Structure 1
Amino acid sequence: MTRNLVISGETLTGKTLVALAAAAKFKERGMTVSYFKPAGEKSYALSDASRAVDEDAVLMKEVLGMDADLGCICPVVRTMSSYDELIRIGHDELLQKILDCYEKISGASDVVIIEGTAAPWHLLHVGLSTPQIAARLGASVVCLVNFPDITAIDEVLLQRDFFRQHGIEEIGIVLNMVPPMLKGAIEGKIGKFLDDNGVHFCGVIYQHKELFSPTIRDILRALDGQMIVGEDNLDILIGEFMVGSMIPENALKWFRRAKNKAVITSGDRADLCHAAMETDTNLLILTGGLGPDFSTVARARELGVSVMMTDKDTYSTGQIVDDLIGSVNPEDHEKIEVVQRIVGEAINLDCLGF
């Protein structure tokens, strides 16, 4: 009998990272594994005029070697403008499409890993939120919650209550992006508190740059950019992104707040470029198709700071690079192995009886 595992969480909580790790753990046990994402997000980089595809579906199809069509691995692919269209189509037709594809995907699989929507409550307006799908498929559920500090424990309980409202009485929790300084509290009082309050504690993923930090190569590909300086530094990890748009007097104070960062600014802001390079900066991303002046290039080469140019505006660039945090490309086999190792050691699916 096929078992279903729903992986739920908001955007950037590591759902796909856990899916990769869980799939590897199941396969190590000799189980056949499939992946299903009932409702995903359109990837404009991977979609074409003939069809819209979800990037996580592309990744998992490749990793698991699935023969199924992408249109069935992720049957509902939406954009921000598609909400009206989903209402027009209606719950019954959308659900039937999802169930038909699930039957094809599950086949002879021992386990189907089902990735939830961008947030658990998304598609609630058409009755297809993550807990509603989980209840329909009789799935076990593990929720991912980013846990930067103790106050996030309230979000854990909110997730518990939301799933209970839709008939899912038991859920597992994986705490993600946890600062190492909280290790003692997590392994002590917090873990016990969760277990005592009807939540199965299934693991903790501590902040780890290899998991969540994109490389300059990833950024270059996503922005369709051009390297001006640092063509040999494409594998350097970027720990944080900052936008430079302030007056020069405030720039240094702002830029000193982050290490191993990329600074996004207009190519004609040489003052901000120089200020950024006086702090711990790995990359300058110059927007608007405006290249750096000679002094910026010379200083970047002197300090070993990479410089990239993109035609995209600063706002769009910021949105694109934010989506790279914790992302994995199908071609990046080394990153996939790192994810499967680190996350695999961090999670314990025995908490849900797997």
Structure 2
Amino acid sequence: MGVTQQTQKVIVASTEPYSGKSAVLLGLVQRLKQQNLSVAYSKPIGTVWHDEQGGSFARIEDDLRFFVESLNLTEAEVRSPVLFLDPETLAKRLSGEDDINYPQKLKEDLQDIESDIMFVEAPNSLWEGSIFNLSAGKIADTLDAKILLVIPFHDKLLVDSLLTIQQFLGDRLMGVVINKIPPDMIGTAEQQVKPFLEKRGIDVFGMLPADRILRSVNVRELVSRLNADVLCRGDRLDLMVESLTIGAMNVNSALKYFRQRQNMAVVTGGDRTDLQLAALETSTQCLILTGHVAPQEIILNRAEDLEIPILSVDYDTLTTVEIIDQAFDHVRLQEPIKVEVAQELFQKHFDYDRFMQHLS
């Protein structure tokens, strides 16, 4: 393929938020660039952004900037969203003030792309964006493109969803990547789910196992979500937390439990000095204290020596745990270590040659 031929377009879609589209895109684009193919990227609907005040007021889509920086894409190889999914834009559409033909706008936005392959990242689910006529299926129809679907493995009944999606998308469905497969379900996925789907004409390009690093969240994210005060080692907020532990038992039981975990955040009361010391002597990435009780000096000094951040929160233990659990369920692929792990997983578990045959 060369720039004189028509750019091939692939819509990367998912069934729900945080399914792993970014991980699949990272692996695909890296592999294609290794094959000296030129790649472009577009995200028609901006869902995560921040505003910058420069020479002119600009809104930057975070995923777009992440891909530009991670994959060394040039300005000519990326396209900014045609709209941002903010409350004002949604209100205008609902009230009838906004009658813009967004599919046509997208088509015009991408018509001058001169790359071998163009990846278009669809919204968070197959239905999101329908109000603007920019759902995954509508984007595929507009651009005459195939859809690569990323779906997380919750249980074997994902086949129900995929068979329904196949009926809905028809020939637009290029194939699927099954992501986040729990270790104890790998055999079932490979021996039962994949053959079942392929017998029914649904090509499975990849089966990616769940990974603890990809599900991890850094301490800085926890500080932000918990609105926490950092009592010490604010220079170590990039530490990655892989699990959550509640310190509420006696110290002997806690020590045994703590030693079974890796890279954990420990939530405990500010008055539980015994549990705090036990946590600091195990694989703890941060200590989160509840109850409005300041830790003793011995705890702060030990944490300083071990370079472990201590956070203080205003929430009770139950609320704190709920917020942290939500952080694990909504992690984003931004840290360099996650990019590296995602690309390694892709190389091992994605059938690149089969994907390219479908493109051809």
- The TM-score normalised by the length of structure 2 is 0.75
CA drift at 1:276 = 6.8
CA drift at 1:17 = 1.1
SS at match of 1:210: coil
- 8 Å CA contact 1:214, 1:324 repeated in 2: no
Give the whole-Å Cα distance in 1 for the aligned partners of 2:229 and 2:77. Answer: 34
CA drift at 1:202 = 1.0
Tell me the equivalent position of 2:199: 196
Tell me the equivalent position of 1:65: 73
Letter in 2 for 1:175: I
Tell me the equivalent position of 2:241: 238
Task: Assess, with a 3 A threshold, how the Cα gap between structure 1 residues 51 and 157 changes in structure 2: closer, same or farther.
Answer: farther
SS at match of 2:194: helix
Measured against aligned partners, the alpha-carbon deviations of 1:291-316 in whole angstroms (never above 9, x if no partner) come to: 65546535645887431458999779
SS at match of 1:340: helix
Tell me the equivalent position of 1:270: 270
Tell me the equivalent position of 2:62: 55
| Partner of residue 38 from structure 2, selected from 32, 36, 45 | 32
Measured against aligned partners, the alpha-carbon deviations of 1:268-307 in whole angstroms (never above 9, x if no partner) come to: x414786576566431346899965546535645887431
- 8 Å CA contact 2:146, 2:172 repeated in 1: no
Tell me the equivalent position of 2:139: 133
Task: Assess, with a 3 A threshold, how the Cα gap between structure 1 residues 342 and 165 changes in structure 2: closer, same or farther.
Answer: closer
Task: Assess, with a 3 A threshold, how the Cα gap between structure 1 residues 230 and 36 changes in structure 2: closer, same or farther.
Answer: same
Measured against aligned partners, the alpha-carbon deviations of 1:209-243 in whole angstroms (never above 9, x if no partner) come to: 3333233366568889765334575554211357x
Measured against aligned partners, the alpha-carbon deviations of 1:28-74 in whole angstroms (never above 9, x if no partner) come to: 1111001111112132xx3236233321111112223221497x422
Task: Assess, with a 3 A threshold, how the Cα gap between structure 1 residues 165 and 229 changes in structure 2: closer, same or farther.
Answer: same
Matched, 1:94 2:102: yes
| Partner of residue 144 from structure 1, selected from 146, 150, 153 | 150
Aligned residue pairs total 336
Letter in 2 for 1:3: Q
Tell me the equivalent position of 1:123: 129
Aligned sequence identity (%): 22
Tell which structure's C-alpha radius of gyration is larger.
2
Tell me the equivalent position of 2:165: 162
SS at match of 2:115: coil
Moved more, 190-199 or 165-174: 165-174
Give the whole-Å Cα distance in 1 for the aligned partners of 2:33 and 2:354. Answer: 18
CA drift at 1:336 = 2.9
SS at match of 1:48: strand
SS at match of 1:182: helix
Moved more, 107-116 or 283-292: 283-292
Give the whole-Å Cα distance in 2 for the aligned partners of 1:190 and 1:227. Answer: 46
Tell me the equivalent position of 2:3: none
Moved more, 208-217 or 127-136: 208-217
Moved more, 53-62 or 84-93: 84-93
| Partner of residue 12 from structure 2, selected from 7, 10, 13 | 7
- 8 Å CA contact 2:150, 2:177 repeated in 1: yes
- 8 Å CA contact 1:131, 1:163 repeated in 2: no
- 8 Å CA contact 2:46, 2:61 repeated in 1: yes
CA drift at 1:337 = 3.5
Matched, 1:16 2:22: yes
Moved more, 2-11 or 73-82: 73-82
Give the whole-Å Cα distance in 1 for the aligned partners of 2:194 and 2:82. Answer: 37
CA drift at 1:86 = 3.2
SS at match of 2:19: coil
RMSD: 4.0
Moved more, 189-198 or 80-89: 80-89
Matched, 1:172 2:175: yes
Give the whole-Å Cα distance in 1 for the aligned partners of 2:189 and 2:128. Answer: 29
Name stretches of at least 5 consecutive residues in structure 2 with no aligned partner. Answer: 1-5
- 8 Å CA contact 2:11, 2:146 repeated in 1: yes
